[in-house]
Structure 1
Amino acid sequence: MKVDGEVTTGLGKAAFFLSQDFYVNNFIKNCGFKPYPGTLNVVVGQKYLDKINEVKDTCENIIKPDEGFGAVKYIKATLNDEIDGAIVFPAKTEHTENYLEFIAEKKLRDELNLKDGDIVSIEF
């Protein structure tokens, strides 16, 4: 599945969570990279939500957290046909369902010179 969406500023909370050893070690083990401590937030259109929710609901890739943290589902994905990473679906989130959070090894805003409003594609 390939979706297009608009880059937007997130809540700034992912840096803390993606710095926790149990999350980092699981992403290294299961996705093959150490995630940059932050996510690229992408708002997708309503037309994609049914399929995205189906993927999220059936996803069996789960990082079970240490005490006090939430579980995270993830699925490997590619951004703009060039950056390998993953979409994460945190169990505890303040985002609405039309937000996708993409993680990768590098800070994607710098790597791809992205700013709010830019359109990106994610394939998973």
Structure 2
Amino acid sequence: MEIEGIVTTGYGKGAYFLGQEFYKLKFQEKCGFIPFPGTLNIIIPEDKLKEINSIKNNCNNTIKPDEGFGGVKYIKSRLNNTENGAIVFPDKTTHEENYLEFISKNNLRKKLKLKDNDIVKLYINI
């Protein structure tokens, strides 16, 4: 599945959680990389919400909660057909339904020179 979205600034909470040893180890084990401590936040079009929610609800890739930390569903994906990573669906989130959070081993804003309102394309492995 391909989906275009718009880069936006998040709340900064992803940096805290992805900096925790528990999540680093689990993402390395399950996705093959230690994530950069932060997510790339992408706003997706409203007409894609039904598909995304279906993917999320049928996703069996999970990181189970640990003491003090919530669980996370994830789907391996690619950004702009160049960056391997995953879309994460934290059990606890403050984002609106049309926000996706993409993780990678790289600081994507820096590596790809992304800024708010840039258009990116996600390739989701379903």
Normalising to structure 1: TM-score of the pair? 0.98
Q: Spell out, residue by residue over 1:77-115, the C-alpha distance to the aligned partner (whole angstroms, 9 max, x if none).
A: 000010000000000000011000000001000000000
Amino acid at match of 1:28: Q
Deviations 1:23-44 (A, max 9, x none): 1111111111110000000000
Backbone CA RMSD of aligned residues: 0.6
Identical residues among aligned pairs (%):
56
Q: What's the CA shift string for 1:26-73, capped at 9, x where partnerless?
A: 111111111000000000001110000000001011111221211000
Match of 1:53 in 2: 53
What 5-or-longer segments of structure 2 have no aligned partner?
A: none
Q: Does 1:78 align with 2:43?
A: no
Q: Distance in 1 between matches of 2:68 and 2:84?
A: 29
Give the gaps of 5 or more residues in structure 1: none
Residue of structure 1 in register with 2:36 after alignment: 36
Counting matched residue pairs gives 124
CA distance in 2 between counterparts of 1:11 and 1:59 reads 25
Is this contact kept in 2: 1:73–1:90, CA < 8 A? yes
Measured in 2, the distance between the counterparts of 1:86 and 1:3 equals 14
Relative to the length of structure 2, the TM-score reads: 0.96
Displacement of 1:76 in angstroms is 0.2
What is residue 116 of structure 2 aligned with on the other side?
116
Runs of 4+ off more than 6 Å? none
